[in-house]
Structure 1
Amino acid sequence: MSRKCELTGKGPMTGNNVSHAKNRTRRRFLPNLQDVTLQSDLLGRSFRFRVSSAALRTVDHRGGLDAFLAKAKDNELSAAALKVKKEIAKAQAGA
């Protein structure tokens, strides 16, 4: 399981641990990933994703999973999220 947000594509970053004596050693900054179940209002189903807490706040801010995926860029989404986005778009076109 990769350490990557399925909705925003946010992944690990690298940097330095800096001691008091200014010795620098490499380290990784990992995203704060959570396993969550998000509800789609349009499809009436829930989907499980592994998302960062920042992405979760953004989903709430934009008004839910449907609105978030409508604005999301395809290259940032995982394969599972991209599949859900296409299902939502298809349901919107039919309604």
Structure 2
Amino acid sequence: MDEVIRRRVYGADHDDPDPGPRPGREYRELVGGPLDGLLIDVTGWSAERLAEGALLPTEIGRYGHGGRADYGPRPDDPRLWDWRGDTP
């Protein structure tokens, strides 16, 4: 039997006892970069917004506090969002 891995959602508090995905929500997996392996909640996003990706605030990227990590959909599998770099 395969073990289910409970994934952490971007933006969940570090002390949240259940930082994983919630039923009824839609997620994308972040691949590479400082947020590798996290999920981002995209529930309610338009097709255009999903195609753009997101600049996600993070303190663990190249620019530290105030920096953002740029993620966008993988062309052959839009459920995965690849890291495109960091920005101040």
Judging by fraction of residues, say which structure has more strand: 2
Judging by fraction of residues, say which structure has more helix: 1
Larger radius of gyration: 1
Q: What TM-score comes out, normalization by structure 1 length?
A: 0.28
